[in-house]
Structures are given as structure tokens and as C-alpha cells.
Amino acid sequence: SEYDSRVLAEERSVGEWFDTAVTHGTTPKAIANWMINELFRLMNEAKLSIDQIQVTPTALVELIGLVEKQTINNNTAKEVLAEMFASGTAPAKIVESKGLAQISDDAAIAAIIKQILNDNPEQLERYLAGQDKLRGWFVGQVMRQTKGKANPALVNQLLNEALTARSK
């Protein structure tokens, strides 16, 4: 956007950092959003300029790639960026060492959903009787059991399938 362009062109070093990031892949808009909303916030808190930070343009692009591939979600990516900012460690290393990758394995999530439905017959009955709000409760149980690592879109899809199968 025009605003993004103005903000990123304000300081020459910021513009150069952005241009370098763009040459390493992903969309300029995604890079601009992460720089303006997250990286600049961390820089302001630490009172550092772009040439004083440990996060490289390549590392930011790698982080955005992990979100785009759904290896991690946006909230986890913000945590990872803060760690990158503090330590200069590569995003993939942080994700691996802290076990932050999303669970995107259909079978694993389906098994968790089945277990939750079996362990909570009362809630299941109430849901099937028309208490649709309990759907969110089931999603919450899956997220709690996976410590927030389950891919939310996949949880919703597989939960729909499981609930539909049980309603017949």
C-alpha cells in the first residue's frame, strides 16, 4: 500500500533491508506487514535501528515461509520472531528446538478428536441435540490437548466430519 511504501522508504537502510528481503522470495506485502507490524515494534521496544538488529532479511523471509507452509501459525511466528530478535537464531532452528511446529497430520488429529468425543458423551449428546455452541468447546479441547499446535483449519474440517458421522 501507499502507507507501507512511505514507511519503508522513510529511512534508506530500512528500504535496502526490505529490498534485500524481497529478493529472497515471498510477497512484498507479506514482508512489509511483518516489518511494519512486528519487527518495527521489537526495534522500538529495544530502541534499535534496522542495521543494529540480529534478524536478517533472509531470516524474516524464512519465517514468513514457515507460516505460508502452515508449519507454524501467526501467533507462534510472532514468538519465533521475538526469539530471532533476541538471539539471531534461524527460525527453523527455533521451531525445531522448542517443538513449535503445527500438527498437520490428519490421522493424529482425527485420533485426538475421536478420543475427545468418546471421553465426553454428555457434551456430544448435547451438541447432537442442537447445542451448536459446543462445537467451539470441542475445538478448544483439541487445541488444549495439542498445546495449541494442531492446525486449526484441519481441526475444524476433521471435527465436522466426525460430528457429521456421529449425527447419523
Mean pLDDT of all residues in 42-69: 95
Q: Angle formed by the axes of helices 57-68 and 74-87, to 10°?
A: 160
Give the residue extent of every domain in the chain: 2-97, 106-166
Averaged pLDDT, 104-111: 89
Tell me what the mean pLDDT of segment 103-128 comes to.
93
Residue 60 has pLDDT above 90, yes or no: yes
CB 138 within 8 A of CB 123: yes
Nine-digit cell at 41? 515494534
Inform me whether the pLDDT recorded for 168 exceeds 80: no
pTM, rounded to two decimals: 0.73
Pick the CATH number of 106-166 from 1.20.140.10, 1.10.1200.10, 3.20.20.140, 1.10.10.410: 1.10.10.410
